[in-house]
Amino acid sequence: MANELALKYGCNPNQKPSRIFMADGSDLPITVLNGKPGYINFLDAFNSWQLVMELTAATGLPAAASFKHVSPAGAAVAVPMSDTLKKIYFVDDLELSPLATAYARARGADRMSSYGDFIALSEVCDVPTALMIKREVSDGVIAPGYTDEALEILKSKRKGSYNIIQMDESYRPDPVEHKQCFGITFEQGRNELKIDADLLKNMVTDNKELPDFAVRDLLISLITLKYTQSNSVCYAKDGQAIGIGAGQQSRIHCTRLAGNKADIWWLRQHPKVLALPFKEDIRRPDRDNTIDVYISEEWEDVVAGDNWKFAFTSQPEPLTREEKKQWLAQLTDVSLGSDAFFPFGDNIERARKSGVKYVAQPGGSIRDDNVIETCNKYGMAMAFTGIRLFHH
């Protein structure tokens, strides 16, 4: 290990010089085993590492995250998957260890956003996880370690240039952190708030029932939000985030963005999508892009221009608006976390359309009564956590 590591450039090629270093003179808590990670790679690596370690601490399960531009595209723990999920995540042909299952879920939540991601793993990377990573488009991975065989698999990725970082699990940062903006240094205490089930005890709705799976999913959503650029909202189901809305100035826009992603995640499981007649040699990213268009209103333009021939052996039947509506009505038991209070009941109205039944948010709005009333109207259970999770 060394005290500093010179980087090629900062966020952009014109931002030089660039490095990461320890201001106290100690060694960096990382070892670069392969590749040359950049400035943004390290920002993604260190944020996603904290996320997966907190997920494992909260659930006792292996965790993984898929990060892009300092926000998670997906985060998950190792909950067994259905055959349908394995198919839409393109892992039905792979052996799945618990850690590989966690990454398959994290990557599969929003595969388009995960394209070119940075990966975080809470456990030593094993061969099944390495084989999955090898065939996806990704910038790098951070983990507490790698088996010898897994490391060799990953080193062969991207013509030998794949970024592989090993993190020192014993590293604990200083409780006070600093950053600069416009030459001015900011100082604050690190956000070391522990997120656990105790935060969900203040149930403010008529429905006060939180089954174990909802507690798990709400914790996943809240921990994910802790490392998502604010404003942010996260929908979670079955041990994984299914829709993350990051960096929006308006709370309702967060809720809509994340809800739309959750809807796409669910629509990918529609029988018509599962039966799409893809050509055998079509690449997974092209499948992802094509499925996204097939689900959207843009499909009519594709059909009109015969562009479907690029991906399919025959023209698929359209997924009608009514079919989408009927399928989305079957999405249930979704959990929703918010990094700050909901100012209006319209967020709950939108969340309900994506199957949300359980909500966790700080509370504290002058319109809390309206938000609670809206939840009660639909039989939702909502907890006021009393804590804000802004991340900038």
CA distance 272 to 106: 24
Complete DSSP assignment for 86-116: HHHTT-TTS---HHHHHHHHHHHTTTTTTTT
Distances (CA, A) of 264 to 91, 242, 260, 286: 18, 9, 6, 16
Q: Identify whether the C-beta of residue 371 lies closer than 8 Å to the C-beta of residue 344.
A: yes
The SS3 of residue 360 is strand
Q: How far apart are CA 311 and CA 292, in angstroms?
A: 13
Question: Which pair of tokens denotes residue 95?
Answer: 């052996």
Could you tell me where the DSSP H helices lie in the chain?
39-59, 83-88, 98-108, 127-134, 148-155, 212-226, 251-267, 271-274, 284-295, 299-304, 321-328, 346-352, 368-377
Dihedral of the alpha carbons of 281, 282, 283, 289, in degrees to the nearest 10: 180
Catalytic machinery residues? 68-69, 231, 392
Strand partners, 143: 166
With vertex at residue 315, the alpha carbon angle to CA 310 and CA 319, rounded to the nearest 5 degrees, is: 110
